[in-house]
């Protein structure tokens, strides 16, 4: 879905992002500052609004702050300051933000005696971090890994929808929603491992064939 959103709404989304990014640059913000601010807002909402049960406010604040992850890249591009460190900072802050949101939800659920849902939130937290880790490690070993049914935007939107359903009183929304997200995130880990295993095995077979020829 992330790819669909990226391509189908590209012109409109890009125009909106660039307009907002120009405004943010004009008031003196930098891309890296935007990356930090977005994460700080998400962490603050996760440790303050979620545990205290202000779930609607948390969802609104986190949704708005999550969009800063799109602005920071646009700001870097438009200011000509795209950097490898910026990319590293962006990905690192994403892990912090994802961890904070799911830890906040787990804390809220466990504190309110929803043990199964709390355990599922912890599962989602770990699976979400591992999904990103497999891709990053694979890339560091020289193999691209652009696959997976629930990438970050899907996971965030999934958590948002589960929260809305729970707030609206849908029975077992936390258990079913977070359980499903845990399964899909785990499937994504498997998809990435399988993809990288195949690509790495092919590369290594080619390397050995080349070595035998020389
Ligand atoms: C409330 C729930 C209701 C659900 C409805 C939500 C409606 C949402 C509607 C539309 C969603 C639109 C989503 C758009 C998706 C876009 C597709 C996509 O894949 O985007 C990826 C981005 C950004 O990735 P990345 O950060 O890697 O790209 P950048 O462009 O930023 O960086 C690129 C390069 O730029 C350089 N650079 C960057 C930064 C920097 N400082 N320096 C740099 O140099 C560098 O070279 C980089 O490589 O994706 C995301 O991950 C953001 C997704 C945002 C989607 C938000 C949706 C949020 C919805 C709900 C959240 C609810 C949370 C609920 C919490 C509940 C609490 C109780
Ligand atoms: O791996 P994943 O968490 O689904 O999605 C990832 C993002 O969260 C990360 O911040 C970005 O830099 C990666 O390129 C990748 O797209
Ligand atoms: Mg970003
Ligand atoms: Mg990001």
**Structure confidence by residue, pLDDT tens digits, 51-74:** 999 999 999 999 999 999 999 999
Active site residue 210: no
Cα-Cα end-to-end distance for the chain: 45
Atom of ligand 1 at shortest distance to CA of 81? 44
Over 80: is that where the pLDDT of 7 sits? no
* DSSP annotation of 127: H
SS3 20: helix
Residue to substitute in 85, 93, 135, 136 for testing ligand 2 pocket (most ligand atoms within 8 angstroms of CB)? 135
- List, for residues 106-130, the tens digit of each pLDDT value: 999 999 999 999 999 999 999 999 9
Q: Calculate mean pLDDT across residues 30-48.
A: 98
- Say what angle helices 55-66 and 84-111 make with each other, to 10 degrees: 170
* 123 φψ region: left (φ > 0), alpha (ψ -120 to 50), beta (else): alpha
What is the per-residue pLDDT for 1?
64
Over 80: is that where the pLDDT of 50 sits? yes
User: Of 18, 94, 98, 203, which residue is the catalytic one?
Assistant: 94
**Average pLDDT over the chain, rounded to whole?**
95
What is the per-residue pLDDT for 213?
84
Q: Calculate mean pLDDT across residues 8-13.
A: 71
Distance 203 CA to ligand 1 centre (A): 32
- Let me know: does 129 contact 99? Beta carbons within 8 Å: yes
CA 168, 171, 173, 175 torsion-angle sign: positive
ipTM (interface predicted TM) = 0.90
* DSSP annotation of 114: -
SS3 149: coil
- List, for residues 133-179, the tens digit of each pLDDT value: 999 999 999 999 999 999 999 999 999 999 999 999 999 999 999 99
CA 171/CA 173 separation, integer angstroms:
5
Atom of ligand 2 at shortest distance to CA of 148? 4
Distance 32 CA to ligand 3 centre (A): 9
What is the per-residue pLDDT for 5?
60
Q: What is the pTM of this model?
A: 0.93
What is the per-residue pLDDT for 8?
58
- Let me know: does 65 contact 81? Beta carbons within 8 Å: no
CA 44/CA 131 separation, integer angstroms:
24
| Longest distance between any two alpha carbons in the chain, whole Å | 68
């Amino acid at each position: 879905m992330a790819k669909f959103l990226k391509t189908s709404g590209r012109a409109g989304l890009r125009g909106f992002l660039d307009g907002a990014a120009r405004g943010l640059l004009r008031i003196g913000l930098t891309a890296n500052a935007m990356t930090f601010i977005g994460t700080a807002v998400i962490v603050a909402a996760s440790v303050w609004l979620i545990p205290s049960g202000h779930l609607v406010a948390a969802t609104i604040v986190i949704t708005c702050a999550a969009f800063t992850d799109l602005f920071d890249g646009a700001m870097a591009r438009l200011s000509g300051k795209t950097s490898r460190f910026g990319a590293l900072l962006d990905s690192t802050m994403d892990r912090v933000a994802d961890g904070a949101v799911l830890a906040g939800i787990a804390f809220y659920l466990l504190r309110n005696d929803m043990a199964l849902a709390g355990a599922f939130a912890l599962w989602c937290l770990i699976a979400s971090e591992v999904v990103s880790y497999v891709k990053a490690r694979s890339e560091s070993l020289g193999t691209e890994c652009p696959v997976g049914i629930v990438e970050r935007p899907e996971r965030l939107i999934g958590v948002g929808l589960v929260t809305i359903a729970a707030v609206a009183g849908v029975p077992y929304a936390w258990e079913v929603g977070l359980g499903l997200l845990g399964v899909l995130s785990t499937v994504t880990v498997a998809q990435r491992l399988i993809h990288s295993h195949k690509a790495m095995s092919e590369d290594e077979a080619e390397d050995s064939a080349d070595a035998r020829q020389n």
